[in-house]
Amino acid sequence: MNVPETFIDTLRQKVDIVEVISEYVPLRKSGRSYVGLCPFHNERTPSFSVSPERQVYHCFGCGAGGTVFRFLMDIEGISFAETVTLLAERCGIPLPDSLHASAPRSPKLERYRQVHDLAAKAFNHILMNTDAGVQALHYLLSRGISRTTMANFQLGYAPPSGRAMMSFLQQKGFSAEDLIACGLAVDLGGELVDRFRGRVIIPIADRRGQIVAFGARALDDDAKPKYLNSPEYELFHKGRMLFNIHRARKAIRRERRALLLEGYMDVLAVAQAGIESAVATLGTSLTEEQAQLLKADCDKVVIAYDGDEAGRKATVRAIDVLEQAGLTPVVLRLPDGMDPDEYIRAHGARAFERMLSESTWTAVQFLIEDMRARAEWVSPAGRTEFLRQVLRLLAERASPVEQEYQLRNLSQEFNLSVETLKEEMRAFAKPLRRRSPPREEVAPWANSPRAAKGKDQVSLRILQAALFSQEAAECLMEKGVTELAHPLHTALLSHVYSWRLEQPGQPPSAFLDRLEDEELVRLASSLLFDEPPEISVELVEDYLRALELFRLEQELKEKVRAWNEAEAAGDVEKSREMKLQVEWIQSQMATMKQPRALHAE
């Protein structure tokens, strides 16, 4: 996408980052910044800060940071082009021709959105207001779905006649080619007919709430297929979308928890029960893309799939996908093979709410119970194999607290000591799978310059000077500084050089928008949030001198060690050589530690 930099600058000046982020995160003023709970990780103490002065945000807990563009891209899961379009519409600024040309809202896709919106209204009218929809209306009411829920979810009915909807939409100006391309019509032996016939219609919307597809449920439970979805096309990819995500996101973000269900009717029943955070996959197993959609808004996902064998297998797969995405899965314990819809109809909304708070398993607990259900208990070998599987699971996936808890349970069940079980478990112990980098390992970007120590601190100060000062960056380039204390610092310095050469004089926030690497963005945003000292060429030269001193100190340690080893080995020649090198390094360090005025002489 080719968007003029001048247009991006205009948006930066017009958009108030505090105002935008406040729509997603409750913020309170703290000094010159605003603080709140980070929307990108679970925390109880606010570490998320927004600077209106610099128009950037940074979380000192997880490291997330950037400008308003980055925030909307991450929180909404949209592209840069969509973000620019969204902000331009918010500010009432006309889009440049280059963005119009490449914007995702092409005329063809707009027609597809319009035809789905019109079809949804027509299906809903047939269900709620015509004799043709009476049977479907009674069916939904018999399943406990209220008229209010039908209206809120814009449920509809497709009459059994073969061309009713197609004829209506063609009269409204949509071509047969459009209807086929977006899945509303199908070619049956050379005859074009409605795809959906004699079924309850459930609109499927994208993240913005625009209807792009339909799910269709047969009125007869024995009909095949029971559910029929729109085919995939440009706006509809089942593995990248979640049913009801556009309604549920606010509640998911507020609770930092999502309820993951298996089907449309489950979502309708749960939403009617007053639980707003429910979403469902679209007839497929949970995908990585769907897990990432949830990760943008929450940290925990309650899996409430059907209690049958298929639901059990789907839960096991979902646990793996969610954990790989860095989310914490827990599993709702539904009794007697029920699904959420059936449970609510049988026991009521309040009982289901109690289950959500009182009757969940951790992923490890569920997997143990799943192993238990499939174990061969009749033979000693089967019981031993079950025990070994559980110990392997605990070694690889359980926290120390959960390990201790489960080992005590196993000790009582199998009449074995906890120490014996621990010893056996150690045989399975392997390096734990990293679901997300530990914070201490990513300290080079997570720490601010003020928090860093020694060589890293000097390296970060050099980077910060180049970010805030064109003169400092030019000084560093003239001196040929290309390597800093940490590889990540060196990589960011290279990007700063390129930016300073291409766009001299731009504000530091403009630099963040050109970075794509997540770690570099986090490092840069932490540097922008820390208050730098007054930057000058002399200060930069002091930083460089300090960095060289750190290098010489490290070299001195290595030479002293080599000198001691040579003396211990009786190698007189090597010892003499190392002694001379040590003295030379010491003299260099003594010279560098002299005041700047003496260096000038």
The tokens for 351 are 């009982």
Name the residue among 294, 292, 300 with its Cα closest to residue 279. Answer: 294
pLDDT, tens digit (0-9, with 9 covering 90-100), for 287-307: 998 998 888 788 899 999 987
Q: What does the pLDDT read at residue 49? A: 93
Round to whole Å and give the CA distance between 120 and 228.
Answer: 16
Range in 193-207, 342-356, 494-508, 518-532 with the lowest mean pLDDT: 518-532
Q: What is the pLDDT of residue 243?
A: 97
**Residues 316-332, mean pLDDT to the nearest whole number:** 93
Give mean pLDDT, residues 386-399: 92
Q: In this predicted model, what pLDDT tens digit does every residue of 245-257 receive, in sequence order?
A: 999 988 998 888 9
pLDDT of residue 555: 87
* Token pair for 88: 């331009």
pLDDT in tens, 46-77: 899 999 988 999 998 888 899 999 999 888 77
Instruction: Find all residues with CB under 8 Å of 221, minimum gap 6, and list them.
Output: none
- Rounded Cα distance between 202 and 271, Å, is 14
Nearest alpha carbon to residue 492 among 469, 470, 459: 459
Residue 98: pLDDT band (50, 70, 90) is: low
Please tell me whether residue 9 adopts helix, strand or coil conformation: helix
The residue whose two tokens read 């478990």 is 425
3-state secondary structure 478-508: HCCCCCCCCHHHHHHHHHHHHHHHHCCCCCH
Instruction: Please give the helix or strand (H or E) that residue 337 lies within, else none.
Output: none
| pLDDT of residue 132 exceeding 70 | yes
Written as six digits, the tokens of 242 are 């979640």
Is 314 in a helix, a strand, or coil?
helix
**Rounded CA separation 278/275 (Å):** 7
Q: State percent of the chain over pLDDT 90.
A: 46
Residue scoring higher pLDDT (8 or 271) = 271
pLDDT tens, position by position, 343-385: 898 898 899 988 888 889 999 999 999 999 889 988 999 999 9
CB 535 within 8 A of CB 468: yes
